[in-house]
Structure 1
Amino acid sequence: MIQELNERSRQIFRTIVESYLETGEPVGSRTLAQRLGIALSPASIRNVMQDLEHAGLLYSPHASAGRMPTQAGLRIFVDSFLELGNLTEDERRSIEAYGAAAGKSVEELLTEATKQLSGLSQCAGLVVAPKTDKALSHVEFVYLGPGRALAVLVSEDGSVENRIVEVPAGLTPSALQEASNYMSARLGGRTMAEGRSRILREIDERRAELDLLAAKVVEAGLATWAGDEERNMLIVSGRARLLDDLTALADLERVRQLFDDLESKRDVLQLMELAQDADGVRIFIGSENKLFSLSGSSLIVAPFRRKDERIVGMIGVIAPTRVNYGRVVPMVDYTARMIGRLMT
């Protein structure tokens, strides 16, 4: 569509969008005449604006107001006119600083990265990555009462995770200890994902040296951990920044709905799919991404890769649609590259 516009229309369209991204306000013909710096009357400018509106690139929020870009107009601007800025040295140092301290876990690194990105961009920072499966040291089942036990997984780094599992009625302490010893022997030094299939295969082929009750405890424990629906880690920082420019109650309600969706991790898998398909920074404006369509927000994301070049997650920002894309895109890109250098 942009190829069909003449140079004058392109210049007016670009100026309107740049002014809107800067102020958030509709742009009128008199303001445009001053900003363009070319010999065009307000009447001539209004004619061009009307043509751009008929093309679906602009709209007028009120009868007497100026024009603002539609979602389609913003998309064309981002694809055809966006000029990316350069990070300042201070911005580079801020992004690099989060990974400077040794001994941080992956989750701590990613949390710090989203905080830095949120602060620099003045948007909400977001990262999605698979939870890291840690090598286990041992497993223990603790009896809690009839039909219930606590599965305790201790990782080699000393971290502990607990889950309550349902166990057979009539379970004896010896069967519980047998299940604990069996899983510790097969999972020690391995992740749950690495050991799970082997254990289930042994039980299925009846090669496991377990009595019936112990085998059921093991199966219950494995099912509980494999059934974890939150295998993707989602970290969001600076959510309050999305509320800064809101004035209408309807806008506030839409952003609250977005917060609820993020809290429940709804459609997080879709975000991971976006990362897998991305070669660099991707920009989704409004309804182009289902998760953010109701809130009227934009999603600017980039994948990060391990040293073997496999994409393992994505980081970015949730921003108002009128965000300064030219400034934020380089921040997201540099942060994703920085994370990639720290991933093993």
Structure 2
Amino acid sequence: MNHPESLYALDDRSREIFRRIVECYLETGAPVGSRNLSRILTAALSPASVRNVMADLEAMGLIYAPHTSAGRLPTEFGLRFFIDSVMEIGDIAEEERRRMDAEVKAIGENRSIESLFTEASQMLSAMSRGAGVVLSAKVDARLKHIDFVRIEPTRALVVLVAENGTVENRVIDVPRGLPTASLTAAGNYLNAHILGRTLAEARAELERLREERRREIDELTDRVIAAGLATWSGNGSREGTLIVRGVSNLLEDLRAAEDIERLRLLFDDLETKTDIIQLLGLAEQGEGVKIFIGSENKLFSLSGSSLVVAPFRDTGDRVVGVLGVIGPTRLNYARVVPAVNYTAQLVTQLLGR
């Protein structure tokens, strides 16, 4: 049974024993017993004294004995208490910070947003025991430029550039024999009206100017304009883009059949993107890094995975995505949390250019 009111009254001896149990679990994944604990404690304590403290910690719901083992592991409740009240989160080493700066900014200078997200997820995977994940929302970005380029007699490429640097290409059907001048006129007309607007705003504005448009442009050009905007309407999906790197890390240290089953469930969730957009909702609830342990994580609760995430923002300070690490509950939280936080800051800075 949990006794939250007594947790913060743990004496130094109980707190150290609890901390050692959790640290051993995070390092090895294995339970630790009283005899081994008595050897590594700062103060000299007999195994019997250690067992008495462990019994108290177990009564508080902080640790438990898996199977018939004499050792103990932290419960999810214990991990939460450790993270919130015991763990000391340091900062990123200066050398690692410079390396992260160089890697992410090198990608960012190329203005390829997908490459930036991929690099961010790979970096997070490399420094954790888990998989790096980046989810970018499907946003109605503000527009900067649009071009129409004929690629076949009845097809044209629409190139749309957003203010945040993203470039999207779509192919549209055009009437056979459509003059090149009509494509040029469509691009010129749209560029005169879309600057700084979202697609929704651009469509509304062009609808308002419908009568004026009929006087300014011919029917074929009007059809190109309508097709060019419609191609970005899509199906209204808000699923977003999910990038996951380092999934193979999750295959390490599998200890039992139930571990394999939990991993399979996680893979299924990632593959199908089941309710993955909820990650954005989790990240928007407040500032900074958020940690979800095991069953606290509604997205991957069946797999017993932990999720450490932080939001990143656009030039308007809107949350447009989330990045972080998915992994086993024995993630190195003290290392992962500052890395996730700093990576989110780097991505936000680059998107704000």
Scaled by the length of structure 1, the TM-score of the pair is: 0.80
Q: Is the 8 A contact 1:98 1:109 kept in 2?
A: no
Which residue of structure 1 aligns with residue 112 of structure 2?
A: 105
State which of 188, 191, 203 in structure 2 corresponds to 1:188: 191
Within-5 A mapping of 1:164-203: 184=187, 187-188=190-191, 190=194, 194-199=198-203
Which residue of structure 2 aligns with residue 321 of structure 1?
A: 329
Q: For residue 64 of structure 1, give the secondary structure of its aligned residue in structure 2.
A: coil
Per the TM alignment, residue 300 of structure 1 is displaced from its structure 2 partner at its CA by 1.1
Deviations 1:132-160 (A, max 9, x none): 6454424589999xxxx978532248955
Alpha-carbon separation, structure 1, partners of 2:229 and 2:272: 24
Q: For residue 269 of structure 2, give the secondary structure of its aligned residue in structure 1.
A: helix
1:35 aligns with 2:44: no
Which residue of structure 2 aligns with residue 137 of structure 1?
A: 146
Alpha-carbon separation, structure 1, partners of 2:247 and 2:281: 23
Deviations 1:28-79 (A, max 9, x none): 0101111113233222221221222222111111223311001011000000
1:162 aligns with 2:170: yes
The CA RMSD measured in Å over matched residues stands at 3.7
Per the TM alignment, residue 225 of structure 1 is displaced from its structure 2 partner at its CA by 2.2
Which residue of structure 1 aligns with residue 131 of structure 2?
A: 124
State which of 266, 272, 287 in structure 1 corresponds to 2:280: 272
Scaled by the length of structure 2, the TM-score of the pair is: 0.78
Q: For residue 31 of structure 1, give the secondary structure of its aligned residue in structure 2.
A: helix
- Which piece of structure 1 moves more, 234-243 or 184-193? 184-193
| Cα distance, 1:118–1:5 mapped onto 2, change above 3 Å | same
Per the TM alignment, residue 335 of structure 1 is displaced from its structure 2 partner at its CA by 1.5
Task: Tell me the amino acid that sits aligned with residue 194 of structure 1.
Answer: T
Which residue of structure 2 aligns with residue 94 of structure 1?
A: 99
Deviations 1:155-190 (A, max 9, x none): 24895533689xxxxx97699x9x989975664363
Alignment: residue pair count:
334
State which of 15, 19, 23 in structure 1 corresponds to 2:24: 19
Identity of aligned residues (%): 45
State which of 289, 293, 299 in structure 2 corresponds to 1:285: 293
Which residue of structure 2 aligns with residue 82 of structure 1?
A: 87
- Which piece of structure 1 moves more, 25-34 or 9-18? 9-18
Which residue of structure 1 aligns with residue 339 of structure 2?
A: 331
Which residue of structure 2 aligns with residue 301 of structure 1?
A: 309
Q: For residue 62 of structure 1, give the secondary structure of its aligned residue in structure 2.
A: coil
Question: Which consecutive unaligned segments of at least 5 residues does structure 2 have?
Answer: none
Which residue of structure 2 aligns with residue 168 of structure 1?
A: none
Alpha-carbon separation, structure 2, partners of 1:143 and 1:264: 35
Per the TM alignment, residue 317 of structure 1 is displaced from its structure 2 partner at its CA by 1.0
Which residue of structure 2 aligns with residue 55 of structure 1?
A: 60
| Cα distance, 1:183–1:65 mapped onto 2, change above 3 Å | farther
Alpha-carbon separation, structure 2, partners of 1:245 and 1:192: 50
Alpha-carbon separation, structure 1, partners of 2:118 and 2:195: 23
Q: For residue 344 of structure 2, give the secondary structure of its aligned residue in structure 1.
A: helix
Alpha-carbon separation, structure 2, partners of 1:196 and 1:183: 18
- Which piece of structure 1 moves more, 188-197 or 325-334? 188-197
State which of 70, 73, 78 in structure 2 corresponds to 1:65: 70
Alpha-carbon separation, structure 2, partners of 1:31 and 1:23: 14
| Cα distance, 1:6–1:41 mapped onto 2, change above 3 Å | same
Question: Which consecutive unaligned segments of at least 5 residues does structure 1 have?
Answer: 166-170
